[in-house]
Every structure is written in structure tokens, then in C-alpha cells.
Amino acid sequence: MVEAITFQTIFQFLQTTSIMVGIVYYLMILQNQQKSQQQALDTRQAQLLMQIYNRWDNPERCKAFTEIWNWDEWTTFEEFYNQMTPEKWVTLNSLVLFFEGLGVLIRTKKVEVNDLYLLLGGTTIGILERFIPILPEIRENIGYPTYMSETKYLYTEFVKYKEKHPDLMQ
């Protein structure tokens, strides 16, 4: 009788131990899987940021940025509009389309604001702060009420990030 009880006890102990080992093993697999998924996500984020950088750092975009930066200063919409030519509109829109895409990526949280700000924030704010004050008049004049909407969103998010992280301006 003692042997049967001992055998049953040992068997139950082994069952319990096996279940516990199985659970621990499963949890370890889940944890490793989560780490792998995070690494894959980080890699995709880095690839996306490099693709954005490569789109920014090309001769056409650099030329557009330099041209706009060297346009005559304006303080009113009229001063801005009087200097605009069809070629200047093309130059402006080539940058606007790029910034619109960045705004969408931030709004939909495909890219983190901090990553994009560290990559392009200073120059983006520098160029867009010239346009944002006259944006309502630009929209009205060209009959496009949502012109630069995602660009403005991008600018606003960058400014907020810059204000929260003044140490980045050193």
C-alpha cells in the first residue's frame, strides 16, 4: 500500500513539474518572440528614416531648399505673391509635397516625431516658419483650403518638440 501511494505521489509531482516547465518554456518563447518583433520594428523604422533622409538629401530637394531659402524676404502675403513665378511655385510645391508626406507619417504615427525632428527638424522649421504666417492667404488666393495642411501639422509638431527639448538647440 505504501508503494502505491508513493508511486502516485511521485507521478503527480512529475506531472506538476512537467506542466510548470512547459509554462516557463512557453513564456520564454513568447518573450523571445516579442524581442524579435521589436527588433524587426526598430529595423523597419530605421530603414524608413533612411529612405526619408535619402529623399531629402538629393540634388533636386537641396536645390529647391536653397532656392527658397534665397528668395527675397517677405512679411506680407502681397510681398510673397508678387515675387512668385510659375517656376517658384514648382520649386515650392516640390518641398511642400515632401513635407506633406512627412506630416502624414507623423500624424499616423508611422514615424516618431523625435526621430524625424533629429533628422530634419531644424531646417524644416527654418524654411516653414517663412510660410506658416501667410498660409491662410495662400490658401485663399489659390483656392485650395487644405493646401499645406500636413505640412503645417509637421511644423506644429516640430515646434512643440523643440519647445519640450531646448537642449537640442545647442
Structure confidence at residue 129 (pLDDT): 93
Encode pLDDT of 68-119 as tens digits.
989 988 889 999 999 999 999 999 999 999 999 999 999 999 999 999 999 8
CB 115, CB 132: distance < 8 Å: no
Structure confidence at residue 150 (pLDDT): 97
What are the distances in angstroms from CA 139 to CA 77, 107, 133, 147, 149? 11, 21, 12, 6, 10
Cell numbers for 41, please give them.
520594428
Instruction: Provide the residue type at 72 as one letter.
Output: D
Instruction: For residue 30, give the H/E element and its range.
Output: helix 2-56
pLDDT band at 167 (very low <50, low <70, confident <90, very high): confident
Encode pLDDT of 14-26 as tens digits.
888 889 888 988 8
Q: Of 29-33, 56-60, 148-152, where does mean pLDDT reach its minimum?
A: 56-60
Crossing angle (nearest 10°) for helices 86-107 and 113-128: 160
Structural domain boundaries in the chain = 1-41, 58-169
Q: List, in order, residues 6 or more apart from 150 with CB less than 8 Å away.
A: 99, 100, 101, 102, 103, 104, 107
Cell numbers for 134, please give them.
501667410
pLDDT for residue 59 is more than 60: yes
State the burial class of residue 100 (Cβ atoms within 10 Å of its Cβ: 0-12, 13-18, 19+).
buried
pLDDT band at 36 (very low <50, low <70, confident <90, very high): confident
Encode pLDDT of 137-149 as tens digits.
999 999 999 999 9
pLDDT band at 1 (very low <50, low <70, confident <90, very high): low
Q: Mean of the per-residue pLDDT values for the chain?
A: 89
Q: Name the one residue in this structure whose C-alpha cell is 531646448.
A: 166
